[in-house]
Structure 1
Amino acid sequence: MLDIAVPTFIDEIREVDVAFLAIAGQYAEDGKLQGLLEMLGVPYTGSGVLASAQAMHKPTAKKRLDGTIARPIQPWVHCTETQPTRSADAFAREWTDLVRATLKLPVVVKPASQGCSIDLHLARDDQQLHDVFTQLAPTSADGQELVVEPYIQGRHLSCGVLEIGGEPVPLPPLEVVLKGELYDHASKQHPEAHCVYHCPAPLPEPIHNQVSAAAVHAHQTLGCHGYSRSDFIADHDGQVWWLETNTLPGLTPTGNLATMATAAGIDHDTLIERILQTAADPRHYRP
């Protein structure tokens, strides 16, 4: 196991046959690590530079898929800071006004480029929204962008895609039943304490088919490779909304991708082997 944070990482990674990427977050799943491995000529698992960058940056992914994906994309506001020396209160007031002019409350606020639902917040009224923006202002002054979306109550669904024989195959959709309001960082890191998985998700056939098809479409349109996972919400009216696509979903034996694979008759060891095989496939230049 290699740590990208140690000074000797580049020397160590040159010696490997294949880099199996079991890593998440900025500088890991956003195309930067993938670009380094491309420059060093080291084969690696997962998507390439462009697909990783597009999927990680939520505004770019939304623009790329909007109008092409069968599942609609929620209205959203992209918050960027152009005056980094302003006070946190000035940040918050401007962004609160912007969001309130565009979206109805409650809303979800999250970083535009971050993994594992880090810094995901729910705001039900103007004061909560202002407080969230005030809290996130320091990271925004450092260049972190934010995305704000309507908060939709409904069924949280995920669908993994695994390439088998070069073809993207959807895994059985999984439903996450939350014990709280948000599928946030804590829920994803410690699912046993915050949620329950149902896989295959007990869905009506039309919704099951829509989620599976949308996951494959997102995988292909974003240019993903090897495997991915897309997340959705089905609201109380049965409308399915695409949320995001993860190019390096977690691979723990009890995680959602492994749970979906198990439901498809693929045990954890076989899942890892199949992902590893995609890194060894002959590939031409990938953007």
Structure 2
Amino acid sequence: MYRVMVLFGGRSGEHEVSLASARSVIAGLERAGHEVVPVGITREGRWLAGGDPLRELEASAGGKDGTSGPPTLAAHRPPAEIGSVDVVFPVLHGPYGEDGTIQGLLELAGVPYVGAGVLASAVGMDKITMKKVFAHHGLPQVRWVELTRKRWRGCRKEALRELEEELGFPCFVKPSNLGSSVGISRATDPEGLAAALDAAAELDRRIIVEAGVEAREIEVSVLGNEDPEVSVPGEIVVRRGEFYDYEAKYSEGGMELRVPAGIPEETAAEIRRTARIAYEAIDAAGMARVDFFLERGTDRVLLNEINTIPGFTATSVYSRLWEASGLPYERLLERLVELALERHAGKR
């Protein structure tokens, strides 16, 4: 058995999602017999160790600082326990947790950690860079255009005209470096596109705009280092809203996951093969969820994105797909710890 530090909370807009994932991960690791060292990070970037940091963050989730009192540790200082654990399990979604920043800190500390390294985390987080890497590998994607905040604010009419000509309507506007569908808007006309670009520009200096497609949403989970395995595919059916946005993902009844997806075996095989290529293309490790569009009418498979720290409760898509593939939640957690230790040993 191992001493596992679970990191959760964080400075991103997915703070509450991280807390839900952490509660499930901590319980699963403890049921498997591991010693868990919980460490929380507030919305302000302060680290909390000792006592019950998960309860403290949950109790004050609506507060500005994310704490109910003085910080347990000085601001932005990792706890001393980081050097006394066997492995770190980051359950930090979005910026400052999934983008290579915490991974860089753990690399400097020389501590094994679950999941992708600095490069893969950064590429997987940045939608524009990710899509360029996928294009280099010849992977099928929807048409997309990148735009900077400076260009949008300085050349609005020209940018709108180019986007309309290149992509048409509907289209989707996304901040390049936010996860979990945060800040994504669907635009159906020039006025809506301008409003969506204004909103995205408030959240990120780089923006990606993608052509809309009539498609089913299919996802698979990937597990492994040098020889990754891919789960059975599942289909996301949106029950609330026009598309799979943040509310649909995390509100009760917002979506339904159908496992296995009702698709032909050859299509499932193509999706699994493409997911593995995408995983290896960014040099991912440990885990990732890979999302696809299956275009209606043509059944054309289009790669959407890769998520290197997906939601991690026992009922999240990532774990449910592995459950359906014959790998129960506690064993999945143990396998991720083993992969982290294997990857760390391979660096020496």
In structure 2, the residue matched to 1:205 is: 265
| Corresponding residue SS for 1:108 | strand
CA distance, structure 2, for counterparts of residue 233 and residue 83 of structure 1: 29
In structure 2, the residue matched to 1:121 is: 185
Matched, 1:230 2:294: no
How many percent of aligned residue pairs carry the same amino acid? 32
Alignment of 1:164-179 (within 5 A): 166-179=226-239
Gaps of 5+ in 1: none
Q: Does the CA contact (< 8 Å) of 1:199 and 1:263 recur in 2?
A: yes
| Cα distance per residue 1:150-189 (max 9 Å; x no partner) | 111211010111128x521110111001123211111222
Per chain length, whose mean CA-contact separation is higher, i.e. which structure has more relative contact order (CA < 8 Å, sep 6+)?
Answer: 1
CA distance, structure 2, for counterparts of residue 91 and residue 283 of structure 1: 51
User: Which of residues 248, 253, 268 in structure 2 aligns to 1:187?
Assistant: 248
Give every structure 1 segment of 4 or more consecutive aligned residues whose post-TM-superposition deviation is greater than 2 Å.
11-17, 81-84, 90-98, 134-140, 282-286
CA distance, structure 1, for counterparts of residue 319 and residue 230 of structure 2: 13
CA distance, structure 2, for counterparts of residue 138 and residue 244 of structure 1: 22
CA distance, structure 1, for counterparts of residue 202 and residue 216 of structure 2: 33
| Cα distance per residue 1:195-225 (max 9 Å; x no partner) | 1111111111111011110111111111000
**TM-score normalized with structure 1 length:** 0.90
Q: Does the CA contact (< 8 Å) of 1:3 and 1:9 recur in 2?
A: no
| Corresponding residue SS for 1:102 | helix
**1:18: how far off?**
1.2
In structure 1, the residue matched to 2:217 is: 156
CA distance, structure 2, for counterparts of residue 11 and residue 212 of structure 1: 40
Alignment of 1:37-56 (within 5 A): 37-56=106-125
CA distance, structure 2, for counterparts of residue 183 and residue 9 of structure 1: 36
CA distance, structure 2, for counterparts of residue 16 and residue 261 of structure 1: 27
Matched, 1:240 2:301: yes
Matched, 1:145 2:209: no
Matched, 1:108 2:172: yes
Query: Based on CA coordinates, which of the two structures has the bigger radius of gyration?
Result: 2
**1:120: how far off?**
0.9
In structure 1, the residue matched to 2:12 is: none
Question: What is the Cα-based RMSD across aligned positions, in Å?
Answer: 2.0
Matched, 1:269 2:330: yes
Matched, 1:215 2:248: no
CA distance, structure 1, for counterparts of residue 150 and residue 287 of structure 2: 36
2:220 aligned partner, one-letter code = C
**1:8: how far off?**
5.7
User: Which of residues 81, 87, 102 in structure 1 aligns to 2:149?
Assistant: 81
In structure 1, the residue matched to 2:79 is: 11
CA distance, structure 2, for counterparts of residue 11 and residue 149 of structure 1: 41
CA distance, structure 2, for counterparts of residue 182 and residue 283 of structure 1: 42
| Corresponding residue SS for 1:177 | strand
CA distance, structure 2, for counterparts of residue 242 and residue 249 of structure 1: 17
Q: Does the CA contact (< 8 Å) of 2:175 and 2:201 recur in 1?
A: no
Q: Does the CA contact (< 8 Å) of 2:124 and 2:130 recur in 1?
A: yes
CA distance, structure 2, for counterparts of residue 148 and residue 8 of structure 1: 34
| Cα distance per residue 1:52-105 (max 9 Å; x no partner) | 111111111111111524x41121111113369x5xxx5654542331132111
| Cα distance per residue 1:108-156 (max 9 Å; x no partner) | 111111111101110011111111122233334xxx3111001112110
Distance 1:63 1:135, change over 3 A: closer
**TM-score normalized with structure 2 length:** 0.75
User: Which of residues 196, 213, 219 in structure 2 aligns to 1:132?
Assistant: 196
Q: Does the CA contact (< 8 Å) of 1:91 and 1:137 recur in 2?
A: no
2:110 aligned partner, one-letter code = G
Q: Does the CA contact (< 8 Å) of 2:182 and 2:246 recur in 1?
A: yes
Q: Comparing 125-134 with 230-239, which one deviates more in the overlay?
A: 125-134
Distance 1:23 1:151, change over 3 A: same
Q: Does the CA contact (< 8 Å) of 1:161 and 1:228 recur in 2?
A: yes
Q: Does the CA contact (< 8 Å) of 2:275 and 2:290 recur in 1?
A: yes
Q: Comparing 128-137 with 215-224, which one deviates more in the overlay?
A: 128-137
**1:283: how far off?**
3.7
Distance 1:32 1:94, change over 3 A: farther
1:63 aligned partner, one-letter code = K
Q: Comparing 178-187 with 103-112, which one deviates more in the overlay?
A: 178-187
1:264 aligned partner, one-letter code = S
